[in-house]
Structure 1
Amino acid sequence: MNWPAFQRASSCPVGDPASLSRLDEIIAAEFSNITGIVAVKQGSIVYENYYNGFAEEDKQHVASVTKSVLSALIGIAIDKGFIEDENAKVVDFFPEYALDELDVEEQRKDITIRHLLTMTAPHPHDDWQEPLDQLCMQPDWIYYTLSRLGQLGEIGDFKYSTAGAHLLSAILTRSTGLSAREFANGHLFGPAGMHIIPDFPMEAYGFDELFGQGVRGWVHDPGRYSTGGWGLTLTTRDMARFGQLYLNRGRLENKQIIPESWVEKSVAMNPNQYGYLWWLRNEGGIQSYSALGDGGNMICCLPELGMAFAISSTFMINPRDRWFLINDYLIPALS
């Protein structure tokens, strides 16, 4: 693809050749499931390499990086008037469900889109032990999640929930009449020069189709809502393109694709170190915000350096934190 304002630097890769030459050895020894790395600096690709048989046009399931993409879509939908704002009440988007008949906490009625974006809505699971297998066995993922929303905890307390992110996808569809995949193609992927995601109807909802080798395009639930918390496939370049868009405060040349105010709110530091479906970090004086997914998929943006790093990976349990690779090797080599 010929992407304006997102080309290889004329001397790509740039930086310290000795440091870059050690990268392959370090990756093989400590980050063996990485499939691609694209580093962008001031709008140009300054480093790009692929591993484990992957190449530039290969798409990877990016797992929870999907959440950060969905955050952008919510911001775009608000800007275009499909959703009033992030203070809208979640239950108001699902009037056909008889939620008042359920014996659950009243606080469910007070949960807003903002609470889902910031992972501050109560859910009835222990921290980091969400039963996604139970969600995926339901005929109606939306009713299942809504029926549990508001239990075990208080509004405002951080609790990571992938099911909560899926509700955001349903809200987007209820508001726009389009799936998250369709809305992204028209309002984010296409305008930003990323690959359009085709429709791949799902014939089964097993582990392979939802999480494994069978993931294609953007996974959807039995109601055809695009999965909000995982299930999106992107090339490593598309991941970097998305990161660069945030570095540019949502703007590509003369096009404001994501509202600038939404980008600012999404990555503003707070005590939870979690923005609008973005992880926030301040370490060693370096501020960053990242989209993170299982296996080590990562889009890391460092605004003070004008750099974004995209790292795609196959799934593995307990991969090494990609921040060490970025901070200890890539930044020194490419600065």
Structure 2
Amino acid sequence: MDQRKKVLLEKIINSSYNNTAGLIVLKNGKTLYENYFNEYTGANAVHVASVTKSIFSALIGIAIGNGQIKSMDQKVLEFFPDYTINRGEKTIQRVTIKNMLTMTAPYKYKSEPYEQFFASDNWIKFALDLLGGRGQIGEFTYSAIIGTHILSGILIKATGQSVFDFATEKLFSPLEIQVGNNVVLQNKEEQLAFFKDKNVRGWVADQQGVNTAGWGLTLTPMDMAKIGQLYLDGGLWKDKQIIPAWWIDESTKEHSRWGKLSYGYLWWILDDKEHIYAALGDGGNVIYVNTKKKMVVSIASLFVPHAKDRIKLIKEYIEPMFENCV
């Protein structure tokens, strides 16, 4: 690649995207660029925030492909037969797995009560208690943390395994991704420390050992790039079908909308025609897949509020720089 362009890219990252920890660019399965910033190396994992959601989508797809989940149209409450709903509540009874994956399930709050959720002794029950209400099923309602945790409970009930064990066996081990161990955060201070720890490893779990579906996973930039390449290759990794190809096709096309933004099954759809989609996490964590150009970009970032848009960086600088490389 042009050395001057490389210097320019790194100058832009250091000045305008200076919370970046690592950046990897793959094309046709080959690593064209790999670099680390802020004293991070390829061995350092980062809390990837909501990128966790897109990876959880893969786990749901694997479970459906295995027949452990019969259909996305299954009702959420089918998996929680012991859960007691309040008299007169009908909406919650109609919410499906697909509603959870497309963020079209309604909730009984205007903004997520994070602190009460974290302080509760059963996150799944707390989340179920907030599901439903007077909102309309089918309207986009983004659940950053609370609602998506219900998917973790569904996966456990469906597979008979912990989320961590299922993910390790079916996804991480085949890709040679080492996540670490469960991380139980006891208070707000520990949460903040988890976000900032340079040597962080693991996956956040609640008091019952249920791993989070919407956040809390740590990955290296190369781990993220592997996930992107797996999706670009239709779920195939070293001649083994890890994720059903039909699931990848289905989960990376538009199923719901939030204003001008398109959403699949826990993936953001950036261009339906060109088939460009991304996993996006707070602070500027990204797995970006451009199917037409056979390109994957992973960016791991340290948490800062109101991080600058990485998609702009990818589209304006990174893609043009590498699109003509073989």
TM-score, normalised by the number of residues in structure 1: 0.90
Runs of 4+ in 1 over 3 A off after TM superposition: 213-216
Q: Residues of 1 paired with 2:134 and 2:127: CA distance? A: 13
How far apart, CA to CA, are the structure 2 residues paired with 1:124 and 1:83?
27
Cα distance in structure 2, aligned partners of 1:263 and 1:271: 16
Q: Residue 275 of structure 1: which of 264, 283, 292 is its match? A: 264
Residue 167 of structure 1: aligned partner: 150
Q: Are 2:234 and 2:248, in contact at CA under 8 Å, matched by a contact in 1?
A: yes
Structure 1 unpaired stretches of 5+: 1-14
Residue correspondence of structure 1 range 72-221 to structure 2 within 5 A? 72-99=58-85, 102-103=86-87, 105-126=89-110, 129-161=111-143, 162-195=145-178, 197-200=179-182, 202=184, 204-209=186-191, 212-213=195-196, 216-221=201-206
Pick closer, same or farther for the CA change 1:117–1:80 going to 2, 3 Å: same
Q: How much does 1:124 deviate?
A: 2.2
Report the secondary structure of 2:39's partner residue: coil
Secondary structure of 1:191's aligned partner: coil
- Other structure's SS at 1:188 match: helix
Alpha-carbon distance, 1:52 to partner: 0.2
Change beyond 3 A, Cα 1:75–1:139:
same
Matches within 5 A, 1:39-50: 39-50=25-36
**In 2: Cα distance, 1:198 partner to 1:321 partner:** 29
- After superposition, give the CA deviation of every residue in 1:12-39 in whole Å (9 maximum; x if it has no partner): xxx3332211112101111010000011
Task: Find the aligned partners of 2:9 and 2:244 in 1 and give their Cα distance.
Answer: 36
Does structure 1 retain, via aligned residues, the 8 Å contact 2:276–2:290? yes
Q: 8 Å contact 2:285–2:301 — kept in the other structure?
A: yes
Map 1:236-247 onto structure 2 (within 5 A).
Answer: 236-247=221-232
Equivalent-residue separation in structure 1 for 2:181 and 2:160 (angstroms): 16
Report the Cα distance in structure 1 between the residues aligned to 2:98 and 2:246, rounded to whole angstroms.
15
Deviation at 1:91, TM superposition (A): 0.7
Query: Match for 1:71: what amino acid?
Result: S
**Inter-partner Cα distance in structure 2 for 1:309 and 1:90:** 34
In structure 1, C-alpha distance between the alignment counterparts of 2:281 and 2:183, rounded to whole Å: 23
1:72-117 deviation digits (Å, cap 9, x = unpaired): 0011011112111111110111111222xx2563111011111000
Partners of 1:288 and 1:302 within 8 A in 2? yes
CA displacement at 1:207 relative to structure 2: 4.5
Shift, 1:229, TM fit? 0.6
Taking structure 1 as reference, are residues 174 and 148 closer, same or farther at Cα in structure 2, changes over 3 Å only? Answer: same
Instruction: Please report how far the alpha carbon of residue 201 of structure 1 lies from its aligned counterpart in structure 2 after TM superposition.
Output: 5.1
Deviations 1:273-325 (A, max 9, x none): 10000001129x75411101110101010001000100000100101100111
Query: More deviation in 209-218 or 287-296?
Result: 209-218
- Tell me which amino acid in the other structure corresponds to 1:304: K
Query: Could you say what secondary structure the match of 1:241 adopts?
Result: helix
Q: Percent identity?
A: 42
Residues 1:155 and 1:26: Cα distance change in structure 2 (over 3 Å): same
Q: Which runs of 5+ in 2 are unaligned?
A: none
The equivalent of 1:306 in structure 2 is 294
Q: Which residues in structure 2 correspond to 1:253-272 (within 5 Å)? A: 253-270=238-255, 272=257
CA contact (8 A) 2:23 2:36 kept: yes
Give the aligned residue type for 1:124. K
Task: Give the SS at the match of 1:72.
Answer: helix
TM-score in terms of structure 2 length = 0.92
The number of equivalent residue pairs is 315
8 Å CA contact 1:104–1:147 kept in 2: the answer is no
Q: Read off the aligned partner of 2:79 and give its amino acid letter.
A: F
Asked if the contact 1:192/1:257 (under 8 Å) is kept, the reply is: no
User: Given the alignment of the two structures, is residue 327 of structure 1 paired with residue 315 of structure 2, yes or no?
Assistant: yes
CA RMSD of aligned residues (A): 1.7
Deviation of 1:152 (Å): 3.8
Asked whether the equivalents of residues 196 and 302 of structure 2 are also in contact (C-alpha less than 8 Å), the reply is no
